[in-house]
Amino acid sequence: MRVKKWSGVLSTMLLMVLIVTACSKENKQTGQSKELEGKKLFVYCGAGMTKPFTEIAESFQGNTGAVVEVTFGNAAQIISQITASEEGDLFIAGAEGELDSIRDDYIADVKNLVKHIPVIAVQTGNPKNISGIMDLGKEGITVVLGDSDATPIGKIADKALTDAGIYEQVEVAARTATAPEISTALSLGQCDAAIVWKENAGIEGVEVVSTTDLDKYVKIVPAASLKCSKNAGVLEEFLLYLESDEAIKIWENYGYEVVE
């Protein structure tokens, strides 16, 4: 793989903590849910899922009054924080394989949520006429990929390119710490193509190539309950909410597909 030195700046996204507030939403609490009011839930979530998961957390808080604190980051950052602090209730990972290193010591239970779908994305209008994965190895095509040591999408990209036999031919303009940064680089014209999650490709200046080349690399987003959880009651209710029609609709609005 040829890595091109890139003069542009890619931020190395640090863990971002979002304390969800529901002041702008209609309060839908019921008598049954008021027992959760003011109680806290601490969640880790892959940065690529920031938009849908923020909406889900806000909706849950609006329904129950619970305070949801979400830490977004790449998988490596999140796992490091879990093992160092031994704090938190839930980890929403980009792929179940990201749980392997902490499964025995830190994971209490896992529920499958939705399909995480990788796609080949290009600049709007597809000026380089990219039709599939083999085109990514052609002369003059530059690609931005996720960091394979930190992100599931980076690992998937490397595997797909290796399986296609073009890994060494691909000219990589940059590697990013999170999935959203991949699409941002593409939208700014800093590369010709990228392998990114479907939901991150829905921004201005980016379109998805219609191809089945990455279908076999679809992953499942798991909700992993942590053994260090100190908020069992809120966690149980939140896990139930993640299976609700309301939560599923939010996922679908961002391009995810429900696990059958």
At 33 the pLDDT is: 53
pTM of the model: 0.81
Please report, in tens digits, the pLDDT of each residue of the chain (260 residues total). 554 433 333 444 445 555 554 443 444 544 445 689 989 999 999 998 999 999 999 999 999 999 999 999 999 999 999 999 999 999 999 999 999 999 999 999 999 999 999 999 999 999 999 999 999 999 999 999 999 998 999 999 999 999 999 999 999 999 999 999 999 999 999 999 999 999 999 999 999 999 999 999 999 999 999 999 999 999 999 999 999 999 999 999 998 998 87
- In angstroms, rounded to a whole number, what is the distance separating the alpha carbons of residues 112 and 110? 7
Tell me the residue range of the domain where 112 lies: 16-116+221-258
At 24 the pLDDT is: 39
At 31 the pLDDT is: 43
At 16 the pLDDT is: 56
Domain count, the chain: 2
7 inside domain = no
Residues 192 and 100 in one domain: no
List Cβ<8 Å contacts ≥24 apart for 249-252. Answer: 250/52, 250/55, 250/56, 250/59, 251/52, 251/56, 251/113, 251/114
Residues 194 and 230 in one domain: no
Alpha-carbon dihedral sign for residues 125, 131, 133, 134: negative
Residues 125 and 253 in one domain: no
Residues 188 and 233 in one domain: no
212 burial level (CB within 10 Å; 0-12, 13-18, 19+) = exposed
Residues 81 and 198 in one domain: no
Residues 49 and 104 in one domain: yes
1 inside domain = no
Contact in structure between 67 and 28 (CB atoms under 8 Å): no
Residues 134 and 100 in one domain: no
